[in-house]
């Protein structure tokens, strides 16, 4: 077996791509999209919670609040993930 | 064997290439399902953060944790209630 494409574009024209490589790229792309979504929502929530009237810089208390908020948001995300997973398992068990 | 068609071009592919493409599609479908789960967690966390988290603190207290779990459960219940009632409304010819 020869001619492994190193990216999607060369793979399509030179023949087969290694399925392992494809799956790796799919997983990476999904993970990147997930991280972007997390950051966007986290920024939205933490800006709302931590920044009152926007000043000329982020002061110390605002910085600390943002750091704490990030940690709490990720804690919340994990709690929600577990809760949703439990519910899905419960629903599947009923079928 | 020189075959320049992509492995997803079914009619000219060999039996093993078909099987490989089908397996790849199955693996990708699994990753997509995981991604859908993550997307739902983002949505729930967004909504439930607003309902349950007041001031970001040094850790997520148990009251907040319980609120988040209940929030996910009740949001799903609400979705099901709305879906069921809406279906009934449509069947009765409501507009």
Domains of chain A: 19-53+60-93 (1.10.287.810)
Q: Is the pLDDT of residue A5 over 80?
A: no
Domain ranges of chain B: 13-94
- Kindly list the distances between the CA atom of residue A18 and the CA atoms of A22, B6, B39, in Å, as whole numbers in the listed order: 7, 12, 28
Contacts of B73 in chain A (CB under 8 A): 83, 87
The pLDDT, as a whole number, for residue B52 is: 97
Look at residue A57 and give its three-state secondary structure.
coil
User: pTM, whole model, 2 decimals?
Assistant: 0.80
Whether A76 and B45 lie within 8 Å, measured CB to CB: yes
- Run of H or E residues at B13: none
- Run of H or E residues at B51: helix B15-52
Chain A residue whose CA is closest to B58: A68
Contacts of A76 in chain B (CB under 8 A): 45, 48-49, 52-53, 60, 64, 68
The pLDDT, as a whole number, for residue A34 is: 97
Whether A65 and B40 lie within 8 Å, measured CB to CB: no
Complex ipTM value: 0.80
- Alpha-carbon distance of A24 to A32, in angstroms, equals 12
The pLDDT, as a whole number, for residue A19 is: 81
Whether A19 and B24 lie within 8 Å, measured CB to CB: yes
pLDDT more than 70, % of chain B:
84
- Which CATH number applies to B13-94? 1.10.287.810
């Amino acid at each position: 077996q020869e001619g492994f494409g190193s990216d999607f574009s060369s793979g399509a024209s030179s023949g087969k791509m290694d399925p392992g490589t494809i799956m790796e790229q799919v997983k990476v792309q999904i993970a990147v999209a997930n991280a972007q979504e997390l950051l966007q929502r986290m920024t939205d929530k933490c800006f709302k919670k931590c920044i009152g009237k926007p000043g000329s810089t982020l002061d110390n208390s605002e910085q600390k609040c943002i750091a704490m908020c990030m940690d709490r948001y990720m804690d919340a995300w994990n709690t929600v993930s577990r809760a949703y997973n439990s519910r899905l398992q419960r629903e599947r068990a009923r079928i | 064997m020189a075959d320049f068609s992509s492995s997803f071009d079914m009619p000219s592919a060999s039996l093993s290439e078909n099987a490989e493409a089908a397996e790849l599609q199955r693996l990708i479908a699994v990753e997509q399902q995981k991604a859908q789960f993550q997307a739902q967690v983002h949505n729930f966390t967004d909504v439930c953060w607003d309902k349950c988290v007041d001031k970001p603190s040094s850790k997520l207290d148990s009251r907040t944790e319980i609120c988040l779990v209940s929030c996910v459960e009740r949001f799903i219940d609400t979705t099901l209630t709305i879906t069921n009632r809406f279906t009934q409304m449509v069947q009765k010819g409501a507009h």
